[in-house]
Amino acid sequence: MKPITDQIKEKPYKGWVLFLATIIIVFFLGLLASSIVERRAEAVFAYTPKIEHSQWEPRNDVWGENFPRQYNKFLQTEDQSFKSKYNGSEHRDMLEEDPRLVVLWAGYGFAKEYNQGKGHEHAINDMHKILRTGAPVDGKKSPMPNTCWTCKSPDVPRKMEEMGVAEFYKGSWETLGHEIVNNIGCADCHDAQNMNLRISRPALVEAYQRMGIDINTVSHQDMRSLACAQCHVEYYFKGDGKYLTFPWDKGTSVEAMEAYYDEYEIKDWIHTISKAPMLKAQHPDFELFQTGIHAQRGLACADCHMPYINEGGQKFTDHKIQSPLNNIANTCQVCHREETTELLANVYERQDKIKENRDKLEELLVRAHVEAGKAWELGVNENKMTNVLQDIRHAQWRWDYVAASHGGSFHSPIESGRIISTGINIAQEARLKLARILADLDYNQEVPYPDIDTKAKAQKYIGLDAEKMNTDKERFMKEVVPEWDIKAEEREKEYKTKNI
């Protein structure tokens, strides 16, 4: 080819074409550069702190001044309009939906009231209202310790810092009522200095220590799950000090935790009908999730429950923590090509199948409790019951482990199915032993299944006075809670913040 200067000499229009093309390219490069600078400026604008506050500032609106996008989304966890087949953010009275639960928990607070979990903005109010915390009026005490507050509020790390951790847990629940008032929030998961994720709850740090892991050394992706594992885990209240403890010393499988509880002879309560030393599984979401395919492929809780979203040219983390089924486009479909209806069907299919056998186990457990009750009624020798009661404890622990891990049937369907089937096996063992015991006592017929097809009937059957519990609670809500709020408001006026 001839040199370009010769070409232009021969055909001058080529020179003009080259000139114009260069101008156009430079123009677009300029646009690109200006857009980058603008975005940068926007980013700086969005993340320039406007207000300085303390590391343990519990008020989410104060943090919200610096991070309005995250704060506005976070406030939306108040929304109660989404209902999926088994979960969602609506109020659902689980005892009304399934009165057998009342019998399974006879003698324990959960038989009084148990609802489907709602969004984080409901945490404090739900705790005030739930019958399990009782009605501490006229100097009466709540049946629950302060440990119960641990998963409800960023006032908890603030108070722990002030009082010391062990001191915080001691004492009955109403003694810190005026201190714990802000719903789960920023200080629970973030370091105020740099907004890095942080673990604010000592129970998780201590559990990792006992497993030989320094939690400060985990990866960033692990932190995106561990922020949730501060609360969405199995735990118990250790000893008289009610010290919050995760039972992970032998591992986090259902068997490892059961072995831990058995070794230390821990029981949450004695069942009023069967007299079995029971365990209440809390919500081992984190533990069960680890055994599923998504965890094995490296996903963290935040990938599905806090997806990235885009607003006004800003990519940020959606702080409306909720069921991912309310936002399939930003969650599942980031990785899966399938249609929404198919992904939804995948989730429901897994949940339906686990529930099918979980319901069978539930009925077996009701029967086992009632049959054991019959044996006591007929004067059975205590020694004969030891193995049976241990079986009932283990079978119900397995049922509860799956039932209380609200996302478990999707997070890890195979492990959930396995746990339920071992539970069915153990429950049947218990009933075989009971049939022999009852026969020895000359009782050779089926023990009648109780008439418990509504919550009211079931609560009456186990001897709960629902009406009294409700009137007491109403008084507590009217007389005590407003006082707590006034005290908290006075105290918070003294907190220092600085505009910058």
Residues 6+ apart with CB under 8 A from 235: 203, 244, 245, 246, 247, 282
Nearest distance, CB of residue 228 and ligand HEC, angstroms: 3
- C-alpha dist (Å) from residue 286 to 149, 207, 230, 398, 404: 20, 13, 9, 16, 12
Q: Quote the CA–CA distance of 192 and 296 in Å, as a whole number.
A: 32
Supply 350's token pair. 């897994």
For ligand HEC, the binding residues in 80-99 under the rule CB under 6 A are 84, 86-89
Judged by CB, which is closer to ligand HEC: 173, or 395? Answer: 173
Angle between helices 382-404 and 340-377 (to 10 degrees): 160
Q: Mapping DSSP to helix (H, G, I), strand (E, B) and coil, where does residue 240 land? A: coil
Nearest distance, CB of residue 21 and ligand HEC, angstroms: 41
Judged by CB, which is closer to ligand HEC: 221, or 470? Answer: 221
Helix spans in 300-406 (H): 301-305, 340-377, 382-404
For ligand HEC, the binding residues in 384-413 under the rule CB under 6 A are 406-407, 410-411, 413
Residues 6+ apart with CB under 8 A from 365: 104, 392, 395, 396, 399, 427
Nearest to 203 by CA among 253, 240, 169: 169
Nearest distance, CB of residue 225 and ligand HEC, angstroms: 5
Judged by CB under 6 A, which of 323, 396, 416, 459 binds ligand HEC? 323
Is residue 285 within 8 Å of 405, Cβ to Cβ? yes
Convert residues 195-214 into a mask of x (bound to ligand HEC by CB under 6 A) and - (unbound): x-x-----------------
Residues 6+ apart with CB under 8 A from 12: none
Nearest distance, CB of residue 109 and ligand HEC, angstroms: 15
Q: How many residues does the chain have?
A: 500
180 part of the interface to ligand HEC, by CB under 6 A: no
User: Which one of the spans 303-311, 353-361, 384-392, 466-474 is the region binding ligand HEC (CB under 6 A)?
Assistant: 303-311
Judged by CB, which is closer to ligand HEC: 173, or 286? Answer: 286
Judged by CB, which is closer to ligand HEC: 96, or 126? Answer: 126
Q: Quote the CA–CA distance of 430 and 388 in Å, as a whole number.
A: 5
Supply 484's token pair. 């707590």
Is residue 368 within 8 Å of 427, Cβ to Cβ? yes
Judged by CB, which is closer to ligand HEC: 354, or 365? Answer: 354
Judged by CB under 6 A, which of 146, 172, 225, 282 binds ligand HEC? 225
Nearest distance, CB of residue 184 and ligand HEC, angstroms: 5
60 part of the interface to ligand HEC, by CB under 6 A: yes
Residues 6+ apart with CB under 8 A from 91: 80, 115, 116, 118
Nearest to 277 by CA among 358, 377, 382, 207: 382
56 part of the interface to ligand HEC, by CB under 6 A: no
Residue type at 57 in one-letter notation: E
Nearest distance, CB of residue 17 and ligand HEC, angstroms: 47
Judged by CB, which is closer to ligand HEC: 303, or 400? Answer: 303
Residue nearest to ligand HEC (CB): 407
For ligand HEC, the binding residues in 268-297 under the rule CB under 6 A are 285-286, 289, 293-294, 297
Judged by CB under 6 A, which of 224, 367, 369, 393 binds ligand HEC? 224
Q: Quote the CA–CA distance of 99 and 84 in Å, as a whole number.
A: 21
Residue type at 312 in one-letter notation: G
Neighbour tally for 499: CB within 10 Å: 8
Degrees to nearest 5, angle at CA 283 with 278 and 284: 100
For ligand HEC, the binding residues in 328-347 under the rule CB under 6 A are 331-332, 334-336, 343, 346-347
For ligand HEC, the binding residues in 431-470 under the rule CB under 6 A are none
Judged by CB, which is closer to ligand HEC: 189, or 388? Answer: 189
416 part of the interface to ligand HEC, by CB under 6 A: no
Dihedral-angle region of residue 428 (phi above 0 means left; psi in -120 to 50 means alpha; beta otherwise) = alpha
Judged by CB under 6 A, which of 181, 231, 420, 462 binds ligand HEC? 231
Neighbour tally for 187: CB within 10 Å: 27
For ligand HEC, the binding residues in 346-385 under the rule CB under 6 A are 346-347
Report the interface residues with ligand HEC, using CB under 6 A.
Answer: 60, 63-64, 67, 70-71, 74, 84, 86-89, 117-120, 122-123, 126, 151-152, 184-186, 188-190, 195, 197, 224-225, 227-228, 230-232, 285-286, 289, 293-294, 297, 299, 301-306, 316-317, 319, 321-325, 331-332, 334-336, 343, 346-347, 406-407, 410-411, 413
